[in-house]
Structure formats: C-alpha cells, structure tokens
Amino acid sequence: MSRLAKRPIAIPAKAEITVSSEGLVVKGPKGTLTKPVSRFVTIEVGAEGVQVTRRGETIESRAAVGTYASHVRNMLKGVTDGFSKKLFIEGVGFKWEVQGKTLKLALGFSHPVNVEIPESLTVVAEKGTLTITGFDKEVVGQFAADIRALKKPEPYKGKGIRYEGEVIRRKQGKKAA
C-alpha cells in the first residue's frame, strides 16, 4: 500500500468533503470539484480526515490507492488555496494578450493564434510572462501544456514558450570553417 495513502488526509477548515454514489465532491471558497471514485478504492470521511483504502488485493487496487490519495490532496488544496502556473515567452516579435475569454498570441506565424480560455481559469498576461490560476490542478496544467505546445522552446536560441524554472539545453550550432 502507498505510504501516502496509509495516513489520513487532513481536511482544511474551509473545505467540505462528501462521498456519494456519484463520486467524491469537495467544496471550498474557490469552487467545487467532483471526481468519480474507482471501483478499486474506498474513500471514507472520518473525524481525523479522509482515509483512502483499497478494495481487494489486485494490482489495479494497489496502483489506484496512491493515485486517489493524491487526487484527494490536490482537490482539497485546489478549493482552498488554488493552483498557478507561469509561462515565459522569448523571441523577437513574440507576444500575448488577453481579450475577454480569448488569449491572442503572435508566435512568428503568418497568422495570429487565438486560444479560448476555460471558464474556471484566470489568465493574466504581462510583458514576458503569462500566469494561469485556477482551482482544478488538471485544468491548469493541461491549459499551460496546450499553450506551451503552440511554440516549444528551440535548442539553438531558446525562442519559444517555456515554464517557469524550465531549463532549455542549448546546442552549439554551426561552426565557421
């Protein structure tokens, strides 16, 4: 069994968690998250916190118990504190701006790229940085990955979109004869 799943997960004062037939529902000041519960795990809410246990001794149940414990932790953190990702853009003429619920990007293509921002996210564009915040970790991470995939950083000059703290391994390039 996962070491993380053995200990009960503490419920913050601002959060409320319920387990029903539809799945797991976590409510907090930032929003409400729901997730269906796998048939391989059992989630119980007690006085000391949330306990995730496996049903049976199958390989799937052993794998799912740690995963669902992490999902519960992320859901509790998301509805109380929220998640954020920062992206940086480098390159001559590369820029982005937020207009309403649309992110407009100029990435050196012959046309501008417009991306719809999901309802649950807040996106702030400054000169070289884009900050994506929201209460669902999966939505924040997927939207950041979709934006980065539009223009990945290239290894020669480092132009493109990268995460905060991401290190680009640079290549040497051509040598003069």
7 contact partners, CB below 8 Å, separation of at least 6: none
- Summarize pLDDT for 113-163 with one digit per residue, the tens: 999 999 999 999 998 999 999 999 999 999 999 999 999 999 998 899 999
**Confidence label for 6 from pLDDT (cuts 50, 70 and 90):** confident
Name all domains of the chain by residue range, CATH numbers in brackets: 3-80 (3.90.930.12), 83-163 (3.90.930.12)
Rounded to whole angstroms, the Cα distance separating 74 from 45 reads 16
Residue 177's pLDDT is 65
What local confidence, expressed as pLDDT, does residue 26 receive? 93
Residue 125: CB partners within 8 Å, gap ≥ 6? 96, 97, 98, 103
Longest CA–CA separation in the chain, Å: 74
Q: How many alpha carbons fall within 13 Å on the CB side of residue 152?
A: 6
Q: φ and ψ at 111, to 5 degrees?
A: -140, 155
